[in-house]
Amino acid sequence: MVDEFRGRKSYPSQNVLAVVDFDLRFTYVLAGWEGSAHDSLVLKDALTRPGGLKIPEGKYFLADAGYAARPGILPPYRGVRYHLNEFAGDRDPIAPKELFNHRHSSLRTTVERAFGTLKSRFKILTQRPFIPIKSQIKVVVACCALHNWILENGPDDYVVDEATWYANLPRSSGRVRDQEADIREWAAKRDLIAQQMWTDRESARDNEADAIPA
């Protein structure tokens, strides 16, 4: 049993799937999967269980590179610059896929901030608790619920402002790649979004250039 919970870490852990909104609130949490469970398996469980994760029609969630592109899930391009500090200085995106990844990373930083705040607030989540696994699952969900309540009823000393966060950007931990291949329809949708972003940016730059007096 313990071995099942021993994933990439050297100690037993849970694989927790969570959805975060742009106010750093947890809108869905699925805890209890063993640390060795594959991300794709946990996501499939979340999407198929009664009362599980629902993706609104016409919307999609941004996911990390550990997932494949599938209905309602858009990960970044693999093998393309992603983290914001990789674009620091004069190293702007030079192609549609890089621009997509840059904007994807800018938005997904919200997830990193939410988890950073949660772990700073509840230290029990950063160390191995000596309580039964069933209780550990409840602790994770309860901490997320309390986190949401505190955000709504502030003030809050644990939320790091964006400027400070960007100055100390973390890098996402290495993730096991999704066992499933990208679904062609959603990979194509990602390509269309990336190309439209690029076209819009280039058009805006051309308009700015035309507006500069000689």
pLDDT digits (tens, 9 = 90+) for 34-65: 888 888 889 999 999 999 999 998 899 999 88
Residue range 65-106, pLDDT digits in tens: 888 899 999 999 988 988 878 887 778 888 999 999 999 988
pLDDT at 7 over 60: no
Domain locations along the chain: 3-199
Burial 154-188 (b: 16+ CB within 10 A, else e): eeeeebbeeeebeeeeeeeeeeeebeeebeeebbe
Q: CA–CA distance from 57 to each of 42, 60, 61 (Å)? A: 21, 8, 11
Residue range 166-194, pLDDT digits in tens: 666 555 544 556 667 788 999 999 999 99
Q: CA 207 to CA 5: how far, in whole Å?
A: 55
Tokens of 203: 């058009």
pLDDT of residue 84: 79
Q: How many CB atoms lie within 10 A of CB 132?
A: 9
pLDDT of residue 211: 62
Residue 1: pLDDT band (50, 70, 90) is very low
DSSP 8-state secondary structure symbol assigned to residue 86: G
Residue 12: pLDDT band (50, 70, 90) is confident
20-24, 52-56, 113-117, 172-176: range with lowest mean pLDDT:
172-176
User: In this structure, are residues 159 and 41 in contact, taking their beta carbons and an 8 Å threshold?
Assistant: no
pLDDT of residue 177: 63
Residue range 142-159, pLDDT digits in tens: 999 999 999 999 777 777
Sign of the torsion angle spanned by Cα atoms 7, 11, 14, 15: negative
- Kind of pairing between the strands at 26-34 and 14-20: antiparallel
pTM of the model: 0.78
